[in-house]
Structure 1
């Protein structure tokens, strides 16, 4: 059995994924926190794009608690053509031109899931190459209006199958989609 790559994405009703720190927290509650934590605990590797890595590396090392411990001690892979010496411990840099090959190999190795958080360009790349197994959307009950969207306007057709759905008291819906194959 191969390892699964699972992307966890905060999403508004109009498809915006950009800057969730500006709109997510009014909807965050203990139940959504438990769901996010359970998703993290199912993984033993974190995969990030460079921008998300920079945000996380500036945030998590100075925090403590269960979630901070997971982010700080779990091995991380960051996709970057410019990062040479990552300062955040447990970080390995993957070259974008070797991403598909390296992740294909990593998926065949023993281990738990590989979690992707944010990193929308990376999520799109994984989807384009058939490497993303699960897409967990935390759908927020608001229209943001502007910002980067999860899927490009003229993107490829991508059949997915809804595998799980949960509605939290905050009205966030957690929707887990898998490749339809």
Structure 2
């Protein structure tokens, strides 16, 4: 059975949107190794429709090693409106918890999920997220979508924590039942 692991670059104020505007000064070989390690264990990728549209346009036009990774890994898109995905190795999954559970049952290994706070919150609310990995940057982004918005409460336990030389915290949390 697969485990869904959500990954985010996150600012101290909870912002996860547009990390390209605040994240890069903190990127170094340490962080690259953490990201690379996660990519090596991933057997599939789960995303929402908006991220699918953004990433399929970007990665299909790219030719580097990371593009090869995203273009070949099995991808599952949670969507009720996407009908004919053109991106290689993509399967559309209806936006209901049982369909996502079926994906988890069918994948032997980690299923990465990134880039959509909305999808991460939906997975948490339905008991589908197995781990939340955050690279917490020592910056307040000031504006943008936050990982947690609204009134929902999600109890998490710290599973792992390391500090990078840049002051970024590499955090892993697991939902508490």
What TM-score, normalized to structure 1? Answer: 0.91
> Conserved in 2, the CA contact under 8 Å of 1:78 and 1:94?
yes
Runs of 4 or more above 4 Å deviation? none
Task: Quote the residue 2:81 is aligned against.
Answer: 82
1:109 maps to which of 106, 124, 143? 106
Residue 119 of structure 2 aligns to a residue whose secondary structure is helix
How many residues are matched? 177
Question: Any unmatched runs of 5+ in structure 2?
Answer: none
Is 1:56 paired with 2:52?
no
Asked whether the equivalents of residues 43 and 107 of structure 2 are also in contact (C-alpha less than 8 Å), the reply is: no
- Displacement, 1:79? 1.4
CA-based RMSD of the aligned residues comes to: 1.4
Q: Which runs of 5+ in 1 are unaligned?
A: none
- The CA distance in 1 between the partners of 2:170 and 2:50, in whole Å, is 24
* CA positional deviation for 1:124: 0.5
Structure 1 residue 110: Cα displacement: 4.9
Q: What per-residue deviation string (whole Å, max 9, x for no partner) do you get for residues 101-132 of structure 1?
A: 11212222351111101111110100000000
Cα gap change, 1:65 to 1:167, in 2 (>3 Å): farther
Equivalences for residues 20-169 of structure 1 within 5 A: 20-96=19-95, 99-155=96-152, 157-169=153-165
**TM-score normalised to structure 2 length:** 0.93
